[in-house]
Amino acid sequence: MDILTLSHVSKKFGNQSVINDLSFSVPEHSIFGFIGENGAGKTTTMKMILGLLSIDTGEIKVNGETVSFGQNKTNQYIGYLPDVPEFYDYMTPMEYLRLCGMITGMNKHEITTRSTELLALVGLENSKKRIKTFSRGMKQRLGIAQALLNSPKLLICDEPTSALDPSGRKDILDILVSVKQHTTIIFSTHVLSDIERVCDDVALLHNGKIALQGSLEEVKELYRSSGFEIEFKQDSDCTTFANHFPEFEQIHSKLLLYPQGSDTDMKNAINYIADNSIDIIKIEKKEPTLENLFMEVVKK
Ligand SMILES: Nc1ncnc2c1ncn2[C@@H]1O[C@H](COP(=O)(O)OP(=O)(O)OP(=O)(O)O)[C@@H](O)[C@H]1O
């Protein structure tokens, strides 16, 4: 079942059309990566899902129920981590989670059990310090714990890793993977390598629409170029080879790339290298990266 569905959603700010006939669905128990350039409309989309912004046309459903602007009925299914989470800095993490639990109407026992469980999950179980002493990574981890407090079916994270160093990013990604069994996750990011590490499905928002969508594998397969590159030991061999195969692009004095090269082209190149006893360092098929796909789609 799809936990989230957007059907033909459009949104304007004044005369500026930000979201234009946007449709996509997020299946349960997946991690859904939402990519887009700065200003593509990712935060706007998330706020519309949360009913914090009105939509001009279309429909958004969370857990099969229609989202209405200004009402928070469907938010019972959602945990939200904004890009810059705000806390009461003078509290400890446990005090903060207790307060959030009380506000959402959880009972005392539930609050204690769940808070203890979640602080352990995000690696803050031993932290008795006040939140104001926390690093950005720790604050982001506490933000996830808070967003998961009421066991949401859908966890929405707005750029959860963007401001973090590689180790902080890894912590967050590991947490997202560990909660996926119970919660569907949608997260936006500019860090495409993060998407490649944890996402099952991806969608690229461009000009207010989904320009690319599917499982990570499908998306890569769709744009798979069968190109390959050859790195030579000697500049002179590289030049000889390039003269014989003018279809190769010279990347530098020892490296050639054949962007559209097929498997047959690769075999021909290997035969030529063997027949002429050319020393090479490597011959390698190029795997499409999400970064390349992104650039390919955005520049169209
Ligand atoms: N409340 C608002 N009033 C007017 N324009 C807005 C408002 N909120 C967002 N916008 C505009 O809508 C567009 C999309 O903004 P949004 O914040 O959704 O993008 P984003 O994809 O989240 O970008 P970023 O990656 O930079 O956070 C931008 O051009 C922004 O200036």
Closest residue by Cα to atom 26, ligand 1, is: 38
- Tell me which H or E stretch contains 10: strand 2-13
Residue 205 CA to residue 99 CA, distance in Å, equals 36
Give ligand 1 pocket residues (Cβ under 6 A).
Answer: 13, 18, 36, 38-44
Q: What's the pLDDT band for 300 if we cut at 50, 70, 90?
A: low
Q: Which of 74, 57, 49 is nearest to 21 (CA)?
A: 57
For a mutational test of ligand 1's pocket, the pick from 34, 37, 43, i.e. the residue with the most ligand atoms closer than 8 A to its C-beta, is 43
From residue 144, how far is each of 22, 72, 110, 139, 216 by CA, in Å?
A: 27, 20, 18, 9, 24
pTM: 0.80
Cα of 204 from ligand 1 centre, angstroms = 16
Cα of 206 from ligand 1 centre, angstroms = 13
| Residue-level pLDDT at 286 | 80
- Burial of residue 24 (CB within 10 Å: 0-12, 13-18, 19+) is buried
Per-residue pLDDT for 262 more than 90? no
Residue 62 CA to residue 4 CA, distance in Å, equals 5
Beginning with the edge strand found earlier in the chain, give each strand of the sheet holding 228-232 in spatial order: 249-252, 255-258, 228-232, 280-285
For a mutational test of ligand 1's pocket, the pick from 9, 10, 13, i.e. the residue with the most ligand atoms closer than 8 A to its C-beta, is 13
As a whole number, mean pLDDT of residues 190-205 equals 87
Amino acid at 212: L
Closest residue by Cα to atom 25, ligand 1, is: 38
Per-residue pLDDT for 235 more than 80? yes
Closest residue by Cα to atom 5, ligand 1, is: 13
Cα of 42 from ligand 1 centre, angstroms = 8
Cα of 40 from ligand 1 centre, angstroms = 7
What's the farthest any 2 CA atoms get from each other in the chain?
A: 78
Q: Find all residues with CB under 8 Å of 265, minimum gap 6, and list them.
A: 228, 247, 258
Amino acid at 185: I
Token digits of residue 116 = 């203890």
Cα of 137 from ligand 1 centre, angstroms = 24
Closest residue by Cα to atom 4, ligand 1, is: 13
Cα of 38 from ligand 1 centre, angstroms = 8
Residue 96 CA to residue 112 CA, distance in Å, equals 12
92 vs 212 pLDDT, higher one: 92
Backbone angles phi, psi at 161, to 5 degrees: -115, -5
Token digits of residue 154 = 């859908």
As a whole number, mean pLDDT of residues 226-233 equals 90
